[in-house]
Amino acid sequence: MRGAAIFMIYIHNLLHMVVSVRENEFFFLPMRAERMLDSFLSFSSSFIADFFSYFGWYGVPVFMFLSGYGLVMKYEREFTDGNTGRQVHLLQTFPYLWRNFLKLFILMAPCYLIYLLGTSLPVFSKMSLAQFTMTSNLYKPSLISPGVYWYFGLTLQFYIIYLLYHRFRGEVFLWVTVFLMLAVSLAVALFSDVRTNEYLRHNSPVWLPVFLVGMWYARRKTVPGLGFISKHRLATFLLLSILWLWSTVNVWLWVLSPLLVLPLFGLICIPLCERFGKSGSLTSRLSASFSRCLTYLGGISAGLFVCHPVIRVLALKAYDLGCNLLIVTLVYAVLSVLVAAVYNLCYKRVMKKLLPKQ
pLDDT tens figures, 262-276: 988 875 556 545 555
Q: What is the pLDDT of residue 332?
A: 97
Q: What's the rounded mean pLDDT across residues 72-88?
A: 66
Confidence of residue 234 (pLDDT cuts 50, 70, 90): confident
35-39, 160-164, 302-306, 353-357: lowest mean pLDDT where?
A: 353-357
Higher pLDDT, 63 or 275: 63
Q: What is the pLDDT of residue 272?
A: 47
Buried b (16+ CB within 10 A) or exposed e, 189-221: beeeeeeebebbbbebbbbbbbbbbbbbebbee
**Torsional class of 322: left (φ above 0), alpha (ψ -120 to 50), beta (otherwise):** left
pLDDT at 60 over 80: yes
Give the Cα separation of 75 and 31 in Å (integer).
44
Q: What is the pLDDT of residue 208?
A: 97
Burial group, residue 110, by CB count within 10 angstroms (0-12, 13-18, 19+): middle
Burial group, residue 286, by CB count within 10 angstroms (0-12, 13-18, 19+): middle
Give the Cα separation of 279 and 187 in Å (integer).
47
Confidence of residue 236 (pLDDT cuts 50, 70, 90): confident
Burial group, residue 75, by CB count within 10 angstroms (0-12, 13-18, 19+): middle
Give strand ranges (E) for 60-127.
none
**HSE-CB for 118 with a 13 A CA cutoff:** 15
Q: What is the pLDDT of residue 152?
A: 97
142-146, 159-163, 166-170, 321-325: lowest mean pLDDT where?
A: 166-170
Q: What's the rounded mean pLDDT across residues 3-22?
A: 95
Q: What is the pLDDT of residue 90?
A: 76
Q: What's the rounded mean pLDDT across residues 61-72?
A: 95
Confidence of residue 291 (pLDDT cuts 50, 70, 90): confident
Q: What is the pLDDT of residue 358?
A: 53
**HSE-CB for 167 with a 13 A CA cutoff:** 8
3-state secondary structure of 130: helix
Give the Cα separation of 272 and 267 in Å (integer).
9
Q: What is the pLDDT of residue 357?
A: 66
Cis preceding linkage at 146, omega within 30: yes
13-22, 84-93, 245-254, 311-320: lowest mean pLDDT where?
A: 84-93
How many C-beta atoms surround the C-beta of residue 232 within 10 A?
Answer: 12
Give the Cα separation of 123 and 116 in Å (integer).
6
pLDDT, the chain, mean:
89
- What separation in angstroms does the CA of 73 have from each of 78, 80, 190? 9, 13, 36
For residue 4, give the H/E element and its range.
Answer: helix 2-15
pLDDT at 160 over 80: yes
Strand partners, 87: 80
Please, are residues 123 and 116 in contact by the beta-carbon 8 Å criterion? Answer: yes
Q: What is the pLDDT of residue 289?
A: 76
**Torsional class of 248: left (φ above 0), alpha (ψ -120 to 50), beta (otherwise):** alpha
Higher pLDDT, 289 or 140: 140
Confidence of residue 128 (pLDDT cuts 50, 70, 90): very high
Q: What's the rounded mean pLDDT across residues 201-205?
A: 95
Please, are residues 69 and 57 in contact by the beta-carbon 8 Å criterion? Answer: no
Q: What's the rounded mean pLDDT across residues 333-352?
A: 95
21-25, 73-77, 82-86: lowest mean pLDDT where?
A: 82-86
Longest dimension (CA), the chain: 65
3-state secondary structure of 323: coil
Q: What is the pLDDT of residue 8?
A: 95
Q: What's the rounded mean pLDDT across residues 75-101?
A: 74
Higher pLDDT, 282 or 264: 264
